[in-house]
Amino acid sequence: MKCELCNDHDAETAITLKQGGEERELYVCRECARQEQVRRQKNSHRTRKGTKLQPGLSISVTRVNGGEDEPPPLLIEALMNAVHGMVNDIERAEKERSERKEPKYIDFPCSRIESPYKVGDRMHLEGLHLIGEMPAVHRAVRALGMKLEGVDADGISETGHVYVLKYNGPVTSAKRIVKDIIDQERNARVRLFEEMPRVFGDSLCRALSILKNCRLLSSGELFDLLSPLRLAALEDMLDGIGLDEINEYMNDADLSSSSNTLSIEERDAADAARADEMNGRFVDVVLNERAEERFL
């Protein structure tokens, strides 16, 4: 029997071929069997059917070019150029940003600000924080070429919500901005007392609960907890502690994150001692009748 593929040599083995969508068993010579085996091996590595695609078929590209001298397909080359251009643009923008000098800012002095609205040499904007307006204030100040700088201490961002205004233009402009910010803080505190008593009461009760029961307390966290209590003391809403003592605690707070230089054991010991001290001091501090009428 002759080979059913070449019809030249005698058939020596049988193979299975797909012809017309159906599998057929053919008897072929050894050479035709070998060629069929090679063809199947090539197909097992191939991911493209051919240059002419039928509708619904797609191409999977496994390499960009076939050799060192063969250029990549136009589509791939265009994509590579686009990505390369985008990377260059990003690198250029980053370089320009790093080379752009930060303007020299001047700290606006808070000495003439009314005492209820400052802690030390910084503006106290707890009211604006509690009513959720601080992000808008930051954006407005940045739009005017200035910035409000808070204090990040012991992992607490903008602890106590105290800020200094940094400006680099006329001092009259900075003075006007500070006046506007203080006016907004005054209005925010009125809103807390009159329109949002639950928000204010929640911040006070949370602060008191932590100060009475915490087992570890960093200096930055203490400063942050005292901030809403200061507003309550200004409105004579606390029994057991007064404004002067809260101011003293806040002014004495170490906001330099110096505890970061300590070992874990030393830092925990310092935080534990601070927590024990505050537990004892605030055990009898409560909201007075005036506060309870409004918040409870």
Whole-number average pLDDT of the chain: 85
- Do 212 and 134 fall within a single domain? no
Residue 84 lies in a domain: no
The fraction of the chain above a pLDDT of 90, given in percent, is 58
Residue 253 lies in a domain: yes
pLDDT digits (tens, 9 = 90+) for 177-235: 999 999 999 999 999 999 999 999 999 999 999 999 999 999 999 999 999 999 999 99
Q: Give the list of residues 6+ apart from residue 260 with CB closer than 8 angstroms, or none.
A: none
Residue 275 lies in a domain: yes
- Do 204 and 238 fall within a single domain? yes
Distance in Å from the first CA to the final CA of the chain: 104
Instruction: Among 194, 212, 232, identify where a domain stops.
Output: 194
Asked whether 13 and 27 are in contact (CB, 8 A), the reply is yes
Least confidently predicted of 11-15, 97-101, 117-121, 222-226 = 97-101
- Do 214 and 249 fall within a single domain? yes
Residue 136 lies in a domain: yes
Least confidently predicted of 58-67, 117-126, 181-190, 260-269 = 58-67
- Do 211 and 173 fall within a single domain? no
Residue 223 lies in a domain: yes
Asked whether 271 and 217 are in contact (CB, 8 A), the reply is yes
**Nearest CA-CA partner of 165 in 153, 157, 173:** 173
H helices present in 155-242, as ranges? 171-194, 197-213, 219-234
- Do 208 and 187 fall within a single domain? no
Residues in the chain: 296
- Do 148 and 214 fall within a single domain? no
- Do 202 and 285 fall within a single domain? yes
- Do 164 and 215 fall within a single domain? no
Q: Rounded to whole angstroms, how far apart are CA atoms 16 and 22?
A: 10
Residue 226 φ then ψ, to 5°: -75, -20
Q: Give the list of residues 6+ apart from residue 233 with CB closer than 8 angstroms, or none.
A: 241, 242, 243, 246
pLDDT digits (tens, 9 = 90+) for 10-60: 888 888 776 666 777 878 888 888 888 777 666 544 444 445 555 555 545
DSSP secondary structure string, 250-270?
Answer: HHH---S-GGGGS-HHHHHHH
Query: In the 8-state DSSP scheme, what is residue 156?
Result: B
Question: 203 is in which domain, residue-wise?
Answer: 197-295
- Do 202 and 120 fall within a single domain? no
- Do 287 and 202 fall within a single domain? yes
Instruction: Among 165, 194, 223, identify where a domain stops.
Output: 194
Residue 96 lies in a domain: no
- Do 163 and 241 fall within a single domain? no
Helix (H) or strand (E) holding 286: strand 286-287
Residue 68 lies in a domain: no
**Nearest CA-CA partner of 228 in 141, 284, 295, 147:** 295
Residue 95 lies in a domain: no
The top-scoring range by mean pLDDT among 101-105, 167-171, 274-278 is 274-278
Q: Rounded to whole angstroms, how far apart are CA atoms 138 and 108?
A: 16
**Residue 65: beta bridge partners?**
none
- Do 187 and 215 fall within a single domain? no
Total tally of structural domains belonging to the chain: 3
